[in-house]
Amino acid sequence: MVDEIQTSERQKAQVLALAQRIVDEGGLQTVALQIGAVSTVTDYFVITGARSLTHLHGLVRRLREVLGELEIETAQSQKRSDDSGWVLFDCGFVVVHVMLAELREFYELERLWLDGEVVFQATNGSNSA
């Protein structure tokens, strides 16, 4: 039980650090949701926006480095291509979505997970292209 609590606290700290680093790298309106109580898929979602494909490519490149620096392993390789406008990283306990602003506005993933708890939210930038 103690190990589970320590693991949970460590994972939350990693998610918060990851979300902040994404903001520092220029991610737009980054949000982290704790969804473990309402999902069997993962414990956290981190969702961020990008202004353009070029911006998205840069965020994805830096995100790969940041995940390594934070010792967050990807459970599987990156999902979707950079050119689709939506890149997903499955890291087991956290799934990271990097999306073009217009796709982010269209899919509104935060609304799909309303029962999740917002543990990080940055309002930097705008989701308009």
3-state secondary structure of 34: strand
Pairing mode, strands 94-100 and 44-50: parallel
| pLDDT tens readout for residues 92-112 | 999 999 999 999 999 999 888
Strand partners, 5: none
CATH number at 40 reads: 3.30.460.10
Closest Cα partner for 14 from 97, 70, 82?
70
CB 97 within 8 A of CB 56: no
Q: Which residue has the higher pLDDT, 68 or 128?
A: 68
Within a domain: 31: yes
Q: Render pLDDT for 66-81 as a digit per residue (tens, 0 to 9).
A: 999 999 998 765 555 6
Full domain range(s) for residue 93: 2-121
The CA distance from 110 to 118, in Å, is 9
Backbone angles phi, psi at 91, to 5 degrees: -110, 25
Q: Is residue 128 assigned to a domain?
A: no
